[in-house]
Amino acid sequence: MKEIKDILDIDKFLDGTGNKPKDRMKELEEFDKQKTKVLKYIMYKKRSEYEVRNKFKSIIPEQNLERIIEYFIEAGYINDEEYIERIIKEYMNLKRLSLKELMYKLYAKGLKKELIEDYIEKHEEEMTEYERKSARELVEKKKSQLEKEEIINYLRKKGYRSENITIGEE
């Protein structure tokens, strides 16, 4: 990962010469402020490219925002694959969700479908076990309130796969 001083180096975003004509000085100062705002935003909490783009699209001119995002991706400060992994682990530790619900939550964060599916495919065993455990926990929670058939329907509506529902109802 690059050092923060390298990231804040506005010379990289000039014409490549590093020259700063006087008439562009104000523009460059503004660009530096924009970059610093984005850096603070992504350093406070890891963000997806979509979140950064959404947050700053009305504040920073599109051309500058594109260059800033591209730079932070190259520097490793914005990495949607790592972001997906972190978010999935957070949800797995805190919530009872089906894989389908988990995927919808990631789609809602603007993450690319291919990246989400790749992660789930690479971690299929772990993800299946998580869904089974989640289904079992929901069955335990609901069995005093609902009939067996109602629990099965509830889990189906939440997107649980059939093979995990039968495990959950045991």
What are the extents of the domains in the chain?
4-74, 80-168
Burial of 125 (0-12, 13-18, 19+ CB in 10 A): exposed
What is the average pLDDT value for the chain, to the nearest integer? Answer: 85
Three-state DSSP class for 92? helix
pTM score: 0.74
Residue carrying the six token digits 């929901």 = 138
Q: What pLDDT, in 10s, does the model give residues 34-77?
A: 999 999 999 999 999 999 999 999 999 999 999 999 999 999 99
Q: pLDDT at position 166, please?
A: 67
Q: Where are the alpha helices (DSSP H) in the chain?
A: 4-7, 25-44, 49-56, 62-74, 80-94, 99-108, 113-122, 124-142, 148-157, 162-168
Three-state DSSP class for 53? helix
Walk along the chain (170 residues) in steps of 10 and give the mean pLDDT of each run: 53 53 75 94 94 96 94 95 95 91 93 95 94 89 85 89 67
